[in-house]
Amino acid sequence: MRIGIYNNETAESQRVTKLLKAEMKRSGLTYVEEDPDVVVTIGGDGTLLSAFHHYQKELNKIRFVGIHTGHLGFYTDWRSFEIDDLVDSLVNDSGQSVSYPLLDMKATYSDGQMENYVALNESTIRNITRTMVCDVFINNHLFENFRGDGLCISTPTGSTAYNKSVGGAIMDPNSIGFQLAEMASLNNRVFRTLGSPIIFGANTELILRLRDENGHVLTCDRDQWMLKSEKERYLTELSYSVSKQRINFAQYRHNDFWSRVKDSFIGGVH
């Protein structure tokens, strides 16, 4: 089995990377920089997000394992002092995995060009110069006219990230769908939106048609673009749907999602 390692640049992550490579070599595991079967990320959830996008074209043949060297993350199961146990799991790997749905995003510009992205956590669209206005279509039917700070579209596993901060619901990662949450929507007798998170099913397409040409900031996980009108080229539409791709984690001891939620946001029960 071919093992890749993707780490951040902190001193602790560098130390753990060196230790992991040494233990893998002693155990007869093969370290590779290209075409891995399993990718071990060392850092936190941000590092795993970066690794996900780095290996995005190879998701169908890669499983991920996360070691966290800082704060406890949702995607990182192992601690830096558990290297021996992790290496034993890699040596005895039988291909076991757990997978989660992803989010497809398509951006369309005024010149007809389109760009495609895949998100593990979420995509957001905001306007930082004025109130954002867009028409929201569900399966090509106009649902509402949104006016506010912006919108957050998240995956089930990403529902505990930025989505939760803007008031979105937490989704069970075993569900196949995605979620739309509003950021500071304007609701009065002139402008009216649903005002609550919406959870869509596997076959739903969400379309956002923007009314303004300038000032938009688009994100996909950790990537961000400030979109400006240049020579009649500006963002006009975003469409979202459940991706045909999925992310796979090596299930050596992949922690239960709801246990992660409890530990992260509730803590001990008194």
By annotation, the residues acting in catalysis are 45
Cβ atoms 35, 1 nearer than 8 A: no
**In angstroms, rounded to a whole number, what is the distance separating the alpha carbons of residues 68 and 76?**
6
**In angstroms, rounded to a whole number, what is the distance separating the alpha carbons of residues 264 and 56?**
27
Q: Which residues are documented as binding site for NAD(+)?
A: 45-46, 121-122, 147, 149, 160-165, 184
Rounded to 5 degrees, what angle do the CA atoms 26, 29, 32 make?
A: 120
Q: Which residues are documented as binding site?
A: 45-46, 121-122, 147, 149, 160-165, 184
**In angstroms, rounded to a whole number, what is the distance separating the alpha carbons of residues 17 and 9?**
10
Give the DSSP letter of residue 159: G
Burial of residue 47 (CB within 10 Å: 0-12, 13-18, 19+) is: buried
Strand partners, 242: 103
Q: Copy the structure tokens of residue 267.
A: 């803590």
Cβ atoms 1, 30 nearer than 8 A: yes
DSSP symbols for 18-30:
HHHHHHHHHTTPE
**In angstroms, rounded to a whole number, what is the distance separating the alpha carbons of residues 126 and 224?**
11
CB environment 122-134: b (16+ within 10 A), e (fewer): bbbbbbeeebbbb
